Structure 1
Amino acid sequence: MRISFLVFLLSFSAFAQNTYKKKAALLGSPFEIIVVANDSVQGYAYCDMAIAEVKRVENLISDWIPTTQVSEINRNAGIKSVKVNAEVFGLIDRALKISHLTDGAFDISYASMDKIWKFDGSMKQMPSEDEIKASVSKVGYKNVVLDAQASTVFLKNTGMKIGLGGIGQGYIADSIKELLQKKGCSSGLVNVSGDITTWGYQPDGSPWTVAIINPMNKEKVFASFPLIDSAVETSGSYEKFVTFNGKRYSHIIDPRTGYPATGIVSVTVFAKKTEIADALATSIFVMGKDVGISLIDQIPNIECIVVSDTGELFVSKNIDLKKYN
């Protein structure tokens, strides 16, 4: 589940006459597209293309829309394989690779979980151990079977479901970037509810810039980072959590155990691809800061910032916050 923005944009430049943007509520979340163009006709045409691309991909991969290919896969769990197009197959394949990489901390079959945790203030006591165990009994990415030659997806067990929410918004941001570049847009920024990707430069030649705010104190900024043809994603739990016996449980659930992640309030991941940043941010939340940062330190060209529930800041090995303060 995506939360309110933990990443916000700095001022764009004094040359706003060549910068055009649109905001919309898409995918149940805030969406913003900013492009650099020669004139308003071209600029807003690019913005409209971006919005149309969101809707196109949503109608392929959403597990909430009954007519999508993902919904068809879920309806046929335990029954038969479902043929999907190359785009959907590729995204599911990459998502499964991340599931393997994170040993199931990221798991696209998370949609099989029973929703026994409530983060709307209605929970008065923790679910029982048996309820928690049963809630994830149908989860297991290893039971998702792909056939590359036939381009089919099969869920082995009845009642299984896959969901691409943990990677799909990042994929949509990347798809918009690729589309607009092909259409001749030389510079822009896409923000899909905190999944941000950029290309090119602002009209004055400066890079697009994002600021990472302190989730424990929204008036404070940890650091500002230039984004040059790259992406950033922040996942957080500072707004959606429950507390039992003095322990804070986030709304991000470990699909391996059924228990909410603990110890972290915010994870920011920098990568070249937004879909990777998207999936890994959730993974780090579930794995915890030590295991999560250790994993990031082993992957080239990916960095992260983790904020613990005590307000402490931890970073991967190649981030020097002093450089960006």
Structure 2
Amino acid sequence: MKKVLPLLLIFFVFAGFGQERKYITVHRTQKLMGSRFDITVVAMNEEIGYINIDQAIAEITRIEKLISSWDPESETSLVNRNAGIKPVKVSLELFKLIERAKQISILTDGAFDISYASMDEVWKFDGSMRYKPTQKEVRESITKIGSERIILDKEKNTVFLKDVGMKISFGGIGKGYAADKAKKLLVSKQVIAGIINASGDLTTWGTKASGEKWLIGIANPLSKDRIFSWLPVIESSVATSGNYEKYVIINGKRYSHIIDPRTGYPSQGINSVSIFAKDAELCDALATAVYIMGKEAGLGLINQLPEAEVIIVDSKNKIHKSRGILFDNNP
């Protein structure tokens, strides 16, 4: 359920008015959480800007140590090791993140589910997979999935996975959460503007050093170098899920890395989903969920959420959008 950046090319352009005080833009790219992070801040000078970026990197690294299912010392790994055995006391931060993830699972009828991780043993997208899993293997993997099996005790601050073999993973929400936390930290330190871009899951605040607005360019699906519409991203976030970069081909058939946790099989029918909302965490989770739910159900869901918008590109490269997206272009 990891995210990739398909046809939505992120371009930062300028439309607005200048500021009297002179600021500069400072940028760094670094691999964090197994993904590319592009961190941009607007600062008084380069030295301050790089100090701010270091602070953001430290916060993202802290989040990774909290939610990583690969780090055996993380709280998440401790929860997974005790699946079916006993509840595990966790930090309030992790407890609240799991609580929100369960709420999104309910909202999306299970299309988003952090307990999907048991399927990692069945579907592999690291180049090692040669054969399609058997129906039995898939059936067995989904018996360990279900947010209702994640038991939370608010009084004791514990998390319990009911069944042996259950696992939770934050691949569908973690980068967005980390981006939000890095932004919150920098805002608390009076960083006036910036962008935290976690491999296409991004959040923004403020304006460019010149005072001009950030916009994103929506690329033509048939020619990704051509921009057919621009959308403002003002104090808000964007996340994209797509099938372009991560997939496996077995017997000539292409399988997306985005697995429906309800069926155990890769989702089909959509090329990409881009969600626009205030928080990157919500964008991250909903982008995955809508991709899995499909065009009709996905649009139906987003049109009921006043805080979110969506652009869907289906398998025929036709564009579909929620009511708040104001452009009519279709390539």
Among residues 285, 296, 302, which one is paired with 2:291 in the alignment? 285
Cα pair 1:189 1:196 within 8 Å, conserved? yes
Q: Distance in 1 between matches of 2:269 and 2:248?
A: 13
> Which position in structure 2 is the counterpart of 1:47?
53
Among residues 145, 156, 167, which one is paired with 2:151 in the alignment? 145
Residues 245, 220 of structure 1: CA spacing in aligned structure 2 closer, same or farther, 3 A cutoff? farther
Among residues 179, 194, 218, which one is paired with 1:173 in the alignment? 179
TM-score (norm 1): 0.93
Cα pair 2:6 2:243 within 8 Å, conserved? no
Cα pair 2:201 2:240 within 8 Å, conserved? yes
How far apart are residue 131 of structure 1 and its match?
Answer: 2.5
Cα pair 1:248 1:262 within 8 Å, conserved? no
Q: Distance in 1 between matches of 2:251 and 2:83?
A: 39
Bigger CA drift: 146-155 or 132-141? 132-141
How far apart are residue 315 of structure 1 and its match?
Answer: 0.6
Cα pair 1:109 1:163 within 8 Å, conserved? yes
Are 1:97 and 2:126 matched, yes or no? Answer: no
Q: 2:143 aligns to what SS in structure 1?
A: coil
Q: 1:320 aligns to what SS in structure 2?
A: coil
Where do 1:142-291 residues align within 5 Å?
142-242=148-248, 248-291=254-297
Q: Distance in 2 between matches of 1:234 and 1:6?
A: 9
Q: 2:240 aligns to what SS in structure 1?
A: strand
Cα pair 1:215 1:265 within 8 Å, conserved? no
Q: 2:232 aligns to what SS in structure 1?
A: strand
Percent identity, aligned pairs only, is 50
Q: Distance in 1 between matches of 2:127 and 2:34?
A: 21
Q: Please list the CA deviations of residues 187-239 of structure 1 after superposition, one character each: whole Å capped at 9, or x if unmatched.
A: 11110111110111112221112223345532233422211100000111023
> Which position in structure 2 is the counterpart of 1:3?
4
Are 1:308 and 2:314 matched, yes or no? Answer: yes
> Which position in structure 2 is the counterpart of 1:80?
86
* Count of paired positions: 324
Which consecutive residues of structure 1, in runs of 5 or more, have no partner in the other structure? none
Bigger CA drift: 238-247 or 137-146? 238-247
Q: 1:267 aligns to what SS in structure 2?
A: strand
Query: Which amino acid in structure 1 is aligned with residue 168 of structure 2?
Result: I
Q: 2:111 aligns to what SS in structure 1?
A: coil
Q: Distance in 1 between matches of 2:12 and 2:161?
A: 47
Instruction: Kindly indicate whether structure 1 or structure 2 has the higher relative contact order, using CA contacts under 8 Å at least 6 residues apart.
Output: 2
Are 1:26 and 2:44 matched, yes or no? Answer: no
Bigger CA drift: 13-22 or 155-164? 13-22
Among residues 103, 109, 127, which one is paired with 2:115 in the alignment? 109
Residues 19, 87 of structure 1: CA spacing in aligned structure 2 closer, same or farther, 3 A cutoff? same
Which consecutive residues of structure 2, in runs of 5 or more, have no partner in the other structure? none
Cα pair 2:272 2:314 within 8 Å, conserved? yes
Query: Which amino acid in structure 1 is aligned with residue 325 of structure 2?
Result: I
Residues 125, 70 of structure 1: CA spacing in aligned structure 2 closer, same or farther, 3 A cutoff? closer
Residues 222, 65 of structure 1: CA spacing in aligned structure 2 closer, same or farther, 3 A cutoff? farther
Cα pair 2:203 2:236 within 8 Å, conserved? yes
How far apart are residue 121 of structure 1 and its match?
Answer: 6.2
TM-score (norm 2): 0.91
Cα root mean square deviation, aligned: 2.3
Q: Please list the CA deviations of residues 243-297 of structure 1 after superposition, one character each: whole Å capped at 9, or x if unmatched.
A: 6788653210001110110001100000001000000000011111110110000
Query: Which amino acid in structure 2 is aligned with residue 266 of structure 1?
Result: S
Are 1:65 and 2:71 matched, yes or no? Answer: yes
